[in-house]
Structure 1
Amino acid sequence: MLAATGIVFALMGLGLFIPGVWLLTLGGSAYYAVVGLAILAVAVLIFRRSAEALTVYALVIVGSLAWAIWEVGFDWWQLVPRGGVIALLGIWLYLPAMRRRLPTDADRPAPGLPIALSLIAAIAVGVYSMTQDPADISGSLPVEVVSADPDLGPTAGDEEWHQYGRTQYGQRYSPLQQINIQNVGELEQVWQYQTGDVKLPQDVTETTYQVTPLKVGDNLYICTPHNLAIALDAASGEEIWRYDANSGLEPDRQHQTCRGVTYWRDPARAADAACAERIYMPTADARLIALDARTGTLCTGFGDGGVLRLERGMPYNPAGYYYSTSPPIAVNGRLIFGGAVNDNFSIQSPSGVIRAFDINTGALLWNWDSGNPDDTAPIDYEAGETYVANSPNSWSVFSVDEERGLVYIPLGNQVPDQLGMGRSEAVEEHSSSIVALNVTTGQREWVFQTVHHDLWDMDVPAQPVLIDLTQPDGSTLPALVGPTKQGDIYVLNRETGEPILPVTEEPAPGGAIPEDFTAPTQPTSALTFKPDMLREKDMWGVSVFDQLACRIQYHRLNYEGRYTPPSINGTIVYPGNFGVFNWGSIAVDPERQVMFGMPTYLPFTSRLVPAADIPAPVEGATASEQGLNRNEGAPYGVVMGPFLGILGVPCSAPPWGYVAGADLRTGEIAWQHRNGTVRDMTPLPLPFKLGVPGIGGPIITKGGVAFLGATVDNYLRGYDLTTGEQLWKARLPAGGQSTPMTYMQDGRQYLVMVAGGHGSVGTKPGDYVIAYALPER
């Protein structure tokens, strides 16, 4: 037993000393080399049956404890990997069975007081740190009603949910208050529907269910990842009709999803006429389909027999490279939308053009191409005219100010995301920006860029939110709130694009590859959730060993903070590609003029690979944004993915995900709390609330409750908007990576959530639509 113990200590000492010396040569902490040497000394003393082993190891525990507190304070989740294994071995040495084998003489076991005191100190620190949360920001949002009669955007009534964000303003706010902070804990499931559309073995990795249902009259309308359009009874969840678009499977699609459908009522038709009410659904094979909202049959007067082909006018059109994952905007007799272009596949990519089509016929009315931004006259498909190849695209949802005649477009980047050489002046101006276009003509009114010379895939991912903000003097300004991947939330005047909350230019790291360059400064909003710069002490792991491995990786990769450029050596990208905010956007209360959001913090890494070193593609491989992205035709490919340790857990310390509330008038973050558990991230269902990543969106109700799924632990939760306190949760049968919605039907308020999982974050796939309500009295 003693020999085996000595071997364990010797292996642990070597496991810390050798990589600890490596870390030291990289400029990292000396702790691991020093403590590894000390534990090797303990191993030697154990082999010699010397009682001094206990005293020396007690010093190891005390020294490790002091070092850990100096590095991270009283943060339980940071202290555990630093001291957990060390403390467990201390307990083992303290056992009488061990001390008897390390006698001070023939009759007495070795004294245990030094090691006992050191363990008591470690336990006391651990217990105290469990009561602390250094990452938490406690506070309250203002409760006063700033605007008693706010502009919610064109709406059909409080009981309805006609648009992706409820109205064209994208606020994700419902005036309903039957469910409120006093009774939300009583919510119960009242019906469940399964679409039958499940993830298939041959599907691409990024097969996800992200739809937000619409509620119109007595019906709900949804789409599914494989492009089924379905109508349900809003009270019972019973299926009314379904339409299968037969979009098929294509291994070169990067995404297989549908975020929603578009509803439109034709005012020129009698209410009972065919296709007086329509549902428009985008498909994964680049079509837009018009359906009768009452029957699910094709509206044959639209496009070609009810179908519009969206690949027309594309200079390159490989199968699976272009499609639309988000619903179009319906405004003033027009359908306006963009499309998703596969990231980092090839420089010969389709255009990112934004187009407006006649909502009745599908005729092209205008096109705005960020690669040719001044010419919006519709091109002639029949004459073979094409758009600009590989111009920045918009794959997310638009917002509209119908009164001002402006549509607001969140724009992405040109392929490849990580290579900026050769971009045109127009592309440089519009990449990763928010653009306002005239609804009637497509002409650009203004552009606001959120990243200069984007080399990090920092697309503007979220639907801009429109709200009228009250100023200190009592006047109001028409505002646009734009969440970004890099954590900044820009509050702009939506008429002019000028900042309402201040925007500053901050110095950015240099050091791009010789063929490229970096912007000397990058914008930062006064309202920002940008993360602090990662430090070596922020590296994490399950144990001291994988944490040490992450520290070594941290020093081996290029990293000088946010906007460190891509490199052949490898770069830490933080915020990572999922961003602080993504397509789920934020929710805004237009009465109190506050926001609720889910900032996420998960670093990625990227490494440029010279084209000559890229191996031939593997037959049958499917598209993905992680792993090797080939960038065909470019001088470099890129390998990217989350910054993970040797055990597959993030190298950065938790929390990785929060819920947060901020005042939009002042830009102040009122509260921020870690959100979600690791229950579905580990083999055992552990309920530890570390604060986990997520992707999805929130909603707010006038009842003072915010609802959010999104997290990787498969729950739907309700929160007090004022304080962020969690008030209710429901276990979902699959990943909840969609945005919930709420409506009133027959005097009862319903909350509906779609649970179908997300391929990239690895949550459980499914096909569920679930409704919750208060018990009937």
Structure 2
Amino acid sequence: MAITLTALLFLIIAAALGAGGVWLAILGGSWYYVIAALAFLVTSILLFRRRSSALLVYALLVIGTLGWAIWEIRFDWWQLAPRGGVIILLALWLLTPWVRGRLTRADAETASLGAAPLWLAVLVALGVAGYSMTQDPLDLPGQLSREAVTTTPDLGGVPNDDWHFYGRSLYGQRYSPLKQITPDNVGKLQVAWTYQTGDVRRSTDVPETTYQVTPLKVRDTLYICTPHNFVIALDAASGKEKWRFDPQVKDNDDRQHQTCRGVSYYADATVAAGQPCAERVYMPTADARLIALDAANGQVCPAFGDKGTIHLETGMPYNPAGYYYSTSPPVIAAGKIIVGGAVNDNYSIHEQSGVIRAFDINTGALVWNWDSGNPDVTTPLPEGQKYTANSPNSWSISSADEKLGLIYVPLGNQTPDQLGAGRSANVEKFSSSIVALDLNTGQMRWVRQTVHHDLWDMDVPSQPSLVDINTASGPVPALVGPTKQGDIYVLDRRSGEPIIPVEEVPAPGGAIEGDHTSPTQPVSGLTFMPRPLQGKDMWGVTLFDQLACRINFLKLRYEGRYTPPSLQGSLIYPGNFGVFNWGGVAVDPERQVMFGMPTYLAFTSRLVPRADVPAPGAGTKGSEQGLNRNEGAPYAVVMGPFVSPLGLPCQTPPWGYVAGADLRTGKIAWKHRNGTVYDSSPLPLPLKVGVPGLGGPIITAGGVAFLGATVDNYLRAYDVTNGKQLWEGRLPAGGQSTPMSYALGDGRQFVVIVAGGHGSINTKAGDYVIAYTLPK
């Protein structure tokens, strides 16, 4: 019975591989699967006949598969395993007494001829597998210089022990000058305190409900916000709650995002210390309000705006609730609070404006507005007039240089992201760019576009980091701008001109009728863009889902980076998840190096003619994945990750790295796979595959970088010099946020991260704020 069932199994495998293999070959892919199907078929026939020569044929299949796999992908365990795993398991089954023993009795004279070669083939394959486990051909070892390039870095004027802004200072460096924690002692980190906000995931929440906040620290107090926009003050030493404020934000199904990345802090020098609202915390809400709170007690500051509140829907061309809100902390600089906002991607062409507005920090009066649809007129919009509808918006975090009098704003796209017909000249100019605006007037000083005629949702997602860089001509005030497509722009922040060269390279054409593509696209000399995908880069847990991914890969349109969306479906790689997203990178202004978390996930993008779009209903309104309706446009779009039938990425791992680069030379020094499948696989195995993530890193002057972000629930510490992981702490929920670091008066250095999970990548939800420190 065992041998009959085995023969039948081999016949089924032969049929599956044969059908898929022929399809793949017709599409122009590898012929291996057809050959393997024939080998399984012959083995099956011989098994039915109980001939020992079945073992010899199968031995040839094992050796052939091994040779083919090594030829395609060298000695990478994570790519070898799906190619040979099932085949080796079946080989071991064939060698059991239940199969080989029966073959021997039926064909005693030739039994050994089949068993010996099969045993040898299996041993060779296992040897190669063992060797490949010790290799990582995709790893880039190396070192950054340990030496400080400057001993007087500009840290933005924030006290060393504090963290006053989202990126610690207006410069957005995400760099702490604290040195108590070092590569030598970081392994001793332990939990100092844990606080739970009580703001937990609700059944009525939108799918994109996330907890992304980076706390601020001023003297002895931390300030945080929560996904539902509670503002909470905590004691920095103990984590005990001092006060909380609930803005009473109502649920709204039309809201695409429900999150808060941070609050903004300001100390008013015109108000005596200890007086009401002498220090303030500003909270942007999911229902388009900006609220000023007394940092001492959480009470609303009535002198600001309309009884403590600015209504950000003022001047907007439309007023559908939930279509405009702020998820990122505003910039406070030069006596102003400067606010952008998020709009719902791909819901409708009737979107709110992406205007950038500056309000007086004390009164809330509108000082200037920069509307990319009318960029030269920045005086406050007269009452009754409206800003330009559906203009590129800034949903991320801006940076500022008060000495130069400039704010640096990362901009996104006009909705729909994937359709470019009919865009205005200003939309074409400002989409997917970094724009420098005068802090006092809002007038544009310069703009640097990172994608021309963006059809891929490659908005600039990250806060620019400002750092002075030594060049052959002397120190230059620089801007480091990470992008979704993997380029790191290193620009002179006075002019926007490149310090590390940027060149225009040819890009794929062939947009849909009525649209066009840019013939060239910019590429920075410092880039983490991936090499183009090939059929051999398709992955799976087994050779069957790998075969399915190879077929789907060849069915999609793909001509490398910037392949335009299409009716047949296009592969977008990197996808709009980004090589870098809102977490950005961390820069060390002393060593003039950066630490980042490049992520690699391919997405698909398929245009759907309006006549074929189903009527609105549950799950069809629009989101960042699935069907995006683009109401009012000629096409909707279906988009999402490029995954296998098992729901895993179709491209081979690693999908996530940590990396270090020298900002003076533009050279990537090291790059290592990062994170495990512990929380995303059926079995909790700490296999270091290299997983994607959302969140950002920090660097400390002690030479240690900290990063959560990955889809496994850990906070990790790394040696900035070589990228070696030094420590990890288990988190009770997803750590899709950016940590921060501060010190107390007794000299103890703390590292704090918020662990609350992320709706889009399905990490565990929670409401935790966790602080770590060294033992006393």
Could you state the TM-score of these two structures normalised by the residue count of structure 2? Answer: 0.99
Letter in structure 2 aligned against 1:471: T
Name 2:724's counterpart in structure 1.
Answer: 725
Q: In the aligned structure 1, how far is the partner of 2:10 from the partner of 2:682? A: 28
Name 1:124's counterpart in structure 2.
Answer: 127
1:97: Cα distance to partner?
Answer: 2.8
The answer on 1:430 being equivalent to 2:405 is no
Question: Which of 141, 144, 148 pairs up with 1:141?
Answer: 144
1:42-61 equivalences in 2 (<5 Å): 42-61=43-62
The answer on 1:251 being equivalent to 2:253 is yes
Name 2:444's counterpart in structure 1.
Answer: 444
Name 1:516's counterpart in structure 2.
Answer: 515
Name 2:339's counterpart in structure 1.
Answer: 337
Indicate the SS of the match to 2:111. coil
CA contact (8 A) 2:532 2:561 kept: yes
Name 2:153's counterpart in structure 1.
Answer: 150
Q: 1:87 to 1:323 in 2, by over 3 A?
A: same
Q: In the aligned structure 2, how far is the partner of 1:688 from the partner of 1:559? A: 31
Map Cα deviations across residues 444-496 of structure 1 (whole Å, 9 max, x no partner): 000000000000000000000000101135x1011000000000000000000
Name 2:280's counterpart in structure 1.
Answer: 278
1:727-742 equivalences in 2 (<5 Å): 727-742=726-741
The answer on 1:420 being equivalent to 2:420 is yes
1:107: Cα distance to partner?
Answer: 5.5
Q: In the aligned structure 2, how far is the partner of 1:31 from the partner of 1:598? A: 35
Letter in structure 2 aligned against 1:187: L
1:251-270 equivalences in 2 (<5 Å): 251-270=253-272
Name 2:688's counterpart in structure 1.
Answer: 689
Q: In the aligned structure 1, how far is the partner of 2:32 from the partner of 2:373? A: 53
- Greater shift in the superposed pair: 585-594 or 100-109: 100-109
Q: In the aligned structure 2, how far is the partner of 1:721 from the partner of 1:589? A: 9
Map Cα deviations across residues 203-225 of structure 1 (whole Å, 9 max, x no partner): 11100000000000110000000
Q: In the aligned structure 2, how far is the partner of 1:98 from the partner of 1:742? A: 62
Structure 1: any 5+ residue segments left out of the alignment?
none
The answer on 1:36 being equivalent to 2:74 is no
Map Cα deviations across residues 731-758 of structure 1 (whole Å, 9 max, x no partner): 0000000000000013211110100000
Indicate the SS of the match to 1:680. coil
Letter in structure 2 aligned against 1:775: P
1:108: Cα distance to partner?
Answer: 6.3
Indicate the SS of the match to 2:104. coil
CA contact (8 A) 2:3 2:98 kept: no
1:741-756 equivalences in 2 (<5 Å): 741-747=740-746, 748-756=748-756
Q: In the aligned structure 2, how far is the partner of 1:519 from the partner of 1:465? A: 28
Name 2:586's counterpart in structure 1.
Answer: 587
CA contact (8 A) 1:102 1:109 kept: no
Name 1:704's counterpart in structure 2.
Answer: 703
Indicate the SS of the match to 1:171. coil
Q: In the aligned structure 2, how far is the partner of 1:626 from the partner of 1:553? A: 18
Letter in structure 1 aligned against 2:169: T
The answer on 1:94 being equivalent to 2:95 is yes
1:546-565 equivalences in 2 (<5 Å): 546-565=545-564
CA contact (8 A) 2:705 2:718 kept: yes
Letter in structure 1 aligned against 2:695: G
Name 2:639's counterpart in structure 1.
Answer: 640
Q: 1:44 to 1:107 in 2, by over 3 A?
A: closer
CA contact (8 A) 1:431 1:454 kept: yes
Question: Which of 353, 356, 359 pairs up with 2:358?
Answer: 356
Indicate the SS of the match to 2:191. strand
Name 1:578's counterpart in structure 2.
Answer: 577
Name 1:186's counterpart in structure 2.
Answer: 188
Letter in structure 2 aligned against 1:153: G
Name 1:327's counterpart in structure 2.
Answer: 329
Letter in structure 2 aligned against 1:184: V
CA contact (8 A) 1:100 1:109 kept: no
The answer on 1:10 being equivalent to 2:6 is no
Structure 2: any 5+ residue segments left out of the alignment?
none
1:109: Cα distance to partner?
Answer: 7.8
Name 1:602's counterpart in structure 2.
Answer: 601
1:318: Cα distance to partner?
Answer: 1.0
Question: Which of 237, 256, 259 pairs up with 1:235?
Answer: 237
CA contact (8 A) 1:51 1:104 kept: no
Indicate the SS of the match to 2:286. coil
Q: In the aligned structure 2, how far is the partner of 1:254 from the partner of 1:373? A: 28
Name 2:293's counterpart in structure 1.
Answer: 291
CA contact (8 A) 2:456 2:562 kept: yes
CA contact (8 A) 2:52 2:107 kept: no
Name 1:408's counterpart in structure 2.
Answer: 408
Name 1:160's counterpart in structure 2.
Answer: 162
Map Cα deviations across residues 3-56 of structure 1 (whole Å, 9 max, x no partner): 101001101111101110000000110000111011111000000111110000
Q: In the aligned structure 2, how far is the partner of 1:344 from the partner of 1:106? A: 67
Map Cα deviations across residues 697-749 of structure 1 (whole Å, 9 max, x no partner): 00000000000000000100000000000000000000000000000013211
Map Cα deviations across residues 48-106 of structure 1 (whole Å, 9 max, x no partner): 11111000000000000000000000000000110000111011111233112112766
CA contact (8 A) 1:460 1:484 kept: yes
Map Cα deviations across residues 374-411 of structure 1 (whole Å, 9 max, x no partner): 11111023xx1000000000000010000010000000
For the aligned residues, what is the CA RMSD? 1.0
Indicate the SS of the match to 1:14. helix
Name 1:365's counterpart in structure 2.
Answer: 367
Letter in structure 2 aligned against 1:113: A
The answer on 1:202 being equivalent to 2:204 is yes
1:679: Cα distance to partner?
Answer: 0.5
Q: 1:752 to 1:101 in 2, by over 3 A?
A: same
CA contact (8 A) 2:620 2:627 kept: no
Indicate the SS of the match to 1:110. helix
Q: Identity over aligned residues, as a percent? A: 66
Letter in structure 1 aligned against 2:68: W
CA contact (8 A) 1:601 1:693 kept: yes
Q: In the aligned structure 2, how far is the partner of 1:374 from the partner of 1:622? A: 36
Q: In the aligned structure 1, how far is the partner of 2:675 from the partner of 2:618? A: 39
Letter in structure 2 aligned against 1:19: G
Map Cα deviations across residues 540-567 of structure 1 (whole Å, 9 max, x no partner): 0010000000000000000000000000
CA contact (8 A) 1:429 1:449 kept: yes
Q: In the aligned structure 1, how far is the partner of 2:713 from the partner of 2:377? A: 47
Q: In the aligned structure 1, how far is the partner of 2:274 from the partner of 2:648? A: 57
Q: In the aligned structure 2, how far is the partner of 1:252 from the partner of 1:502? A: 42
Q: 1:623 to 1:304 in 2, by over 3 A?
A: farther
1:301-312 equivalences in 2 (<5 Å): 301-312=303-314
Name 1:760's counterpart in structure 2.
Answer: 760
1:53-72 equivalences in 2 (<5 Å): 53-72=54-73
Letter in structure 1 aligned against 2:309: V
Map Cα deviations across residues 221-244 of structure 1 (whole Å, 9 max, x no partner): 000000000000000000000000
- Greater shift in the superposed pair: 532-541 or 99-108: 99-108
The answer on 1:772 being equivalent to 2:772 is yes
1:361: Cα distance to partner?
Answer: 1.1
Q: In the aligned structure 2, how far is the partner of 1:395 from the partner of 1:108? A: 75
Q: In the aligned structure 1, how far is the partner of 2:108 from the partner of 2:320? A: 83
Letter in structure 2 aligned against 1:505: E
Indicate the SS of the match to 2:265. strand
Name 2:104's counterpart in structure 1.
Answer: 103
Name 1:169's counterpart in structure 2.
Answer: 171
Indicate the SS of the match to 2:82. helix
Name 2:215's counterpart in structure 1.
Answer: 213
Map Cα deviations across residues 575-608 of structure 1 (whole Å, 9 max, x no partner): 0111000000100000000000000001010110
Q: In the aligned structure 2, how far is the partner of 1:165 from the partner of 1:158? A: 13
CA contact (8 A) 2:261 2:328 kept: yes
